[in-house]
Amino acid sequence: MNRAYGLLDCNNFFVSCERIFNPSLKGVPVVVLSNNDGCVVARSQEAKDIGISMGSPHFRIKSEIRKWGIKVFSSNFSLYTDISSRVMDVLNSFGLNMEIYSVDEAFFDIGCISEEKRGALIEMIKCKVERWVGIPVTITTAKTKTLAKTINHVAKKYREYGSIIEGSVFSDSEIDALLKLCSVKDVWGIGFRYSFLLNSFGVRSAYNFKCLDNGWVRRNMGINGLRLLQELRGFPIHIASSYKEKRTLATTRSFKKYISDLVLMSGYVSSFASHSAFKLRRENLVAREVTVFIRTNSHNLRYKQYSNSVTLQFDGYTSFSPDIVKKALEGLRMIFKPGYLYKKAGVILSEIRPLDKEQTYMFPSRKMVNKDVMRAIDKVNLKWNGVVKLGIENPLDSINGEKEFVSQLYTTDWRQLLTVS
Ligand SMILES: [Mg+2]
């Protein structure tokens, strides 16, 4: 049987979520800001066309906002996660093996569908997601996940290809033509360091990379580079989970007001740790290590400067909030020094792996109870906007930051349902 994968990617996801409930945003430039309204994290096509780049600080684009009438939103993660789960539910209803890759992307296995029937199936998935949830999507297919991801990149950049590219039925030369349009830095898993190395050897496009010699790639980029090469040549390697295992999950924030008090900082660090733990559980992952960092404002040299971080290990792998918060606070106490004005802090989980590979616990019954407790709390929090917390955590706004332009919780809070008059 031929292997083949589809990749469903929601277009300009956060902006599209805002547009579902506010049709006046259609056809006009829209941007969504990060936590604390710091910088741009999502742009509508119109905003991209104006030249607003990803990550632009809000204060730098104020004149463009006025000039072009750009609509600005604070990020409304409760809304986006709820819409995301609706999109994933629709995809899941087709009964294909699927793997949720991020809030707005999922892979699905179409190897079992004959080539002639794939086109109609893809059309139907796209149509159902757009009609039932209201989110426009791009779907690309290919013989491997890396190829599907790479072709998706081309589809985003060159819109004349349309929002469906069926790479899984393309000839080799048709695939090569697409790979020539994708720069090597945009190949899934290449990263900044390797793209720099590859560029220095004249390897600029994904196609150039594909043509490299196996031995050269093995010597310069190790076994993972070789795997990537095979995937790009259309030979599937089990790749996604090995990326996931190397990944880290971070919750970090800059504070609007300086913090010099250990008790207050403990509240923030607990909230960050608890939020990271929630992100772990949402993706069915567990972590082995936690890093805590704190730093003063390096741009304000009138104040004394200090920054430090520490990494600690849990007893085994975990996603249980109290374990993670406790370890993070232990780390904070090791690095916190009084007498400084802190501007930024964060909690980063690492050594991450899927839950099913978790080592067995010494007390299995405790693990089961923990899982059920956390599942119940996550459910309540998703529905009621984070009302259940550990005693030490700061109020909700410590995670969400200050938000000036936030939209309604249209789908997750009874009090904020859309009213039609
Ligand atoms: Mg997307």
- When pLDDT is cut at 50, 70 and 90, the band that residue 365 belongs to is very low
Structure tokens at 83: 């819409």
Q: What average pLDDT is seen over the chain? A: 87
237 residue type, one letter: I
Residue 242 has pLDDT above 50, yes or no: no
**292 Cβ contact partners less than 8 Å away, ≥ 6 residues apart:** 269, 309, 310, 312, 328, 331, 332, 335, 345, 346, 347, 348
Can you give the pLDDT at residue 383? 66
Neighbours of 184 (CB within 10 A): 20
CA 80 / ligand 1 centre spacing (Å):
12
pLDDT digits (tens, 9 = 90+) for 163-210: 999 999 999 999 999 999 999 999 988 887 889 999 999 999 999 999
- 410-413 long-range contacts (CB < 8 A, ≥24 apart) are 410/20, 410/21, 410/79, 411/79, 411/82, 411/83, 412/78, 412/79, 412/82, 412/382, 412/383, 412/385, 413/78, 413/384, 413/385
Mean pLDDT of the region 325-345? 94
Handedness of CA 238, 240, 242, 245 (dihedral sign): negative
Query: Do residues 17 and 410 make contact, with C-beta atoms less than 8 angstroms apart?
Result: no
Distance 286 CA to ligand 1 centre (A): 25
Measuring CA to CA, which residue among 375, 374, 401, 379 is closest to residue 82?
Answer: 379
Residue of 30, 41, 45, 39 lying closest to 60 (CA atoms) = 39
Nearest to 106 by CA among 78, 135, 65: 135
Task: Provide mean pLDDT across the span 259-283.
Answer: 90
**Cα 18 to ligand 1 centre (Å):** 14
Backbone angles phi, psi at 118, to 5 degrees: -65, -40
Say how many Å lie between the CA of residue 26 and the centre of ligand 1: 17
pLDDT at 421: 67
Q: What percent of the chain has pLDDT over 90?
A: 58
Look at 416 and 262; give whichever has higher pLDDT. 262
The pLDDT score that the predictor gives to residue 239 is: 54
What average pLDDT does range 24-39 have in this prediction? Answer: 90
Amino acid in position 82: D
Instruction: Please give the pLDDT value at position 384.
Output: 65
| Run of H or E residues at 67 | helix 62-68
The predicted model gives 331-335 an average pLDDT of 96
Q: How far is the CA of 132 from the centre of ligand 1 (A)?
A: 18
Q: At which residue do the structure tokens 């093996």 appear? A: 97
Residue of 125, 160, 157, 164 whose CA lies nearest to 141: 164
Judged against a pLDDT cut of 70, whether residue 246 lies above it is answered with: no
pLDDT digits (tens, 9 = 90+) for 57-82: 888 999 999 999 999 999 888 889 88
Ligand 1 centroid–CA 325 distance in Å is 31
How far, in Å, is the centroid of ligand 1 from the Cα of 311?
A: 32
Contact 18, 152 (CB under 8 A): no
Residue 107 phi/psi, 5-degree rounding, is -90, 150
Average pLDDT over residues 304-317: 92
Dist. CA 138 → ligand 1 center (Å): 8
pLDDT at position 398: 53
Centroid of ligand 1 to alpha carbon of 12 (angstroms)? 6
Q: Tell me the mean pLDDT in the region 306-324.
A: 91
How much distance in Å is there from the Cα of 102 to the middle of ligand 1?
9
pLDDT surpassing 90 at residue 245: no
DSSP 84-132: HHHHHHHHHTT---EEEEETTEEEEE-TTS-HHHHHHHHHHHHHHHHHH
> 20 C-alpha to center of ligand 1: Å?
16
Q: Per-residue confidence at 241, pLDDT binned at 50, 70, 90? A: very low
**Residues 251, 100, 93, CA angle at the centre, nearest 5°?**
140
pLDDT(278) > 50: yes
* Coarse DSSP helix, strand, coil percentages of the chain, rounded to the nearest 5 percent: 50, 20, 30
Residues 300-319, mean pLDDT to the nearest whole number: 90
Distance 257 CA to ligand 1 centre (A): 33
Chain center to CA of 420:
33
The Cβ of residue 145 has, within 10 Å, a number of other Cβ atoms equal to: 25
Q: What pLDDT was estimated at residue 256?
A: 80
105 CA to middle of ligand 1, Å? 6
- Where does the pLDDT of residue 352 fall: very low under 50, low under 70, confident under 90, or very high at 90 and above? confident
Q: How far is CA 297 from the centre of its chain?
A: 27
From ligand 1's centre to the CA of 156, what distance in Å? 9
Q: How many CB atoms lie within 10 A of CB 315?
A: 10
- Whether the per-residue pLDDT at 42 is higher than 70: the answer is yes
- Residue 368: pLDDT band (50, 70, 90) is low
Give the pLDDT confidence score for residue 179 in this predicted structure: 96
* Residues with C-beta atoms within 5 A of ion ligand 1: 9-10, 13, 104
pLDDT tens-digit series, residues 148-163: 999 999 999 898 889 9
- The residues pairing with 285 across neighbouring beta strands, listed in sequence order, are 354
